[in-house]
Amino acid sequence: MKAYRIAGLYSPKGKDWFKFTKDTVADDEAAAIERVYSLIGSTYGIKRRLIKISAIKEIKPEESNDPVVKYHMSGKNE
């Protein structure tokens, strides 16, 4: 598992675009993007076509402030 930081834009009603940055844990970049689509879609009720991914990069777990990323990368979940 690797930690990824994904940045992009989302539009709740299809008019105004808002920036977001999300840290997540996944096996590869495609899985990380899928995870972000799922998280934003379920949290805010936004369709995938209203989410635009602009950047994805692999990060060190220490760089993330997300408790889920820190937990998964600590090895305590095994």
Structure tokens at 18: 């808002």
What are the sequence ranges of the domains in the chain?
2-74
Residue 77 in 3-state DSSP? coil
Residues 21-34 have a mean pLDDT of: 95
CATH assignment, 2-74? 3.10.20.10
Tell me: the pLDDT tens digits for 35-67?
999 999 999 899 999 999 999 999 998 899 998
> Tell me, what's the pLDDT at 77?
61
Tell me: the pLDDT tens digits for 9-24?
999 888 899 999 999 9
The dihedral built from the CA positions of residue 29, 67, 39 and 8, taken in this order, carries a sign that is negative
